[in-house]
Amino acid sequence: MFIEPRVGTSRDLPRRGWIEVVCGSMFSGKTEELIRRLNRAKIARQRVEIFKPALDKRYHELDVVSHNANSIRSTPVALAQEILLLASGCDVVGIDEAQFFDESLVEVCSQLANRGTRVIVAGLDMDYTGKPFGPMPALMAVAEFVTKVHAVCVCCGELAAYSFRIAASEDKILLGETDSYEARCRPCFLEGMKEKNPESVRAAAKH
Ligand code: ADP
Ligand code: MG
């Protein structure tokens, strides 16, 4: 449970910005947690805007929707820089699926926070091969608050930090649901990778 350092804006306090990152594997509850924080900000009568990359149209063009069907209205953007203009006048900016933006998202989030906006970024910290994903590692470095959430491993029931791709595609970006990905813990992820490609796992074990 994340308790906001400051939910409302008291008139006697100067406006302060900061960055929160919510990261983890697929199905770990990132979007759920993002929606929860944004709804609380709305209750505090904050002006809230939510952005997502235009390429993520899995469930709905305009809504951010979690796997348990929670949703919140959002604005799809092609480039991270668009957020700077569109977010003027906001107290709180939410960004979902942040891993799909390029590195410029780090500068965009920093600028928003510097001008007094609370920025909440949710995204996959690792891709389906277990490598850090897009701008997420740098965002985690510059954020004031980082929350790593976990899914449940579908193989053994332990906490899962990996998104295992069951579909055959090797594209870095493959939008999908439970038909394409499974949440897995480290041993079950490695087991699956070994079955897929024994050589790649031997090489990864050396690092
Ligand atoms: P994320 O944005 O991290 O992909 P969501 O917030 O959209 O995740 O969805 C989280 C929800 O996904 C959970 O509340 C649960 O209902 C569902 N879910 C499906 N598979 C799993 C799993 N393996 N572990 C945990 N939750 C799962
Ligand atoms: Mg999500």
43-93 residue pLDDT tens: 999 999 999 999 866 656 778 888 887 888 899 999 999 999 999 999 999
Tokens of 35: 């929606």
Nearest CA owner, ligand 1 atom 6? 29
Q: What angle do CA 131, 179, 174 make, to 5 degrees?
A: 45
d(CA 203, CA 206) in angstroms, rounded, equals 6
In terms of Cα–Cα distance, which of 74, 10, 11 is closest to 48?
74
Report the residue among 28, 36, 56, 67 best suited for mutation to probe ligand 1: largest number of ligand atoms under 8 A from its CB: 67
What number does CATH give the domain 18-149? Answer: 3.40.50.300
- The answer, as to whether pTM is greater than 0.95, is no
Name every protein residue with a CB atom under 6 angstroms from any ligand 1 atom: 24, 26-32, 66-68, 151-152, 154, 183
Tokens of 47: 């002006």
Cα 182 to the chain's mean position, in Å? 17
Residues whose Cβ atom is located within 5 A of ion ligand 2: 30-31
d(CA 177, CA 109) in angstroms, rounded, equals 28
C-alpha 88 – ligand 1 centre gap (Å): 32
Higher pLDDT, 66 or 16: 16
d(CA 127, CA 162) in angstroms, rounded, equals 8
Sequence length of the chain is 207
Q: Quick one: DSSP state of residue 126? A: B
Give the pLDDT confidence of 160-206 residue by residue, as tens digits. Answer: 999 999 978 778 778 767 789 999 999 999 999 999 887 765 666 66
The rounded mean pLDDT for the chain is 90
